[in-house]
Amino acid sequence: MALTTWRTELEIAFKDRNESFDSVVACTLSEEDLDEEFDDSYGAEEGKPFTLWTREFVYFPCCYDGAEWVGSVSRHPDGNATEHIGG
């Protein structure tokens, strides 16, 4: 069983985009929700749905066969296509 939290997964995603929680403008998760542990391995989806906005990106949950992670897209038109997310 692989336990994680959305806070942990978001920190990983932020690193890829050179952002941090200091960049957050709004989030649908509470502080408690961000730290709630869930099994992110294959099986059933366990992480709460969310949307998080920073000044430059929008973050959201992704899933394939129950495995969960954070995806993101530019908040503003940038001409970059979005690859398929999930399975």
Task: Enumerate the domain spans of the chain.
Answer: 1-39
Residues 6+ apart with CB under 8 A from 16: none
Query: pLDDT of 33-81, one tens digit each?
Result: 999 999 888 777 888 999 999 999 999 999 988 789 999 999 999 998 9
Distance CA 27, CA 24 (A): 7
**What pTM was estimated for this model as a whole?**
0.90
For position 86, what pLDDT does the model report? Answer: 79
Distance CA 20, CA 46 (A): 24
Reported in sequence order, the residue ranges of 3-84 that DSSP labels E, i.e. its strands, are 3-4, 24-27, 38-39, 52-54, 57-64, 67-74
Q: Could you say which DSSP state residue 76 is in?
A: S
For position 10, what pLDDT does the model report? Answer: 97
Task: Enter the tokens of residue 33.
Answer: 């929700």
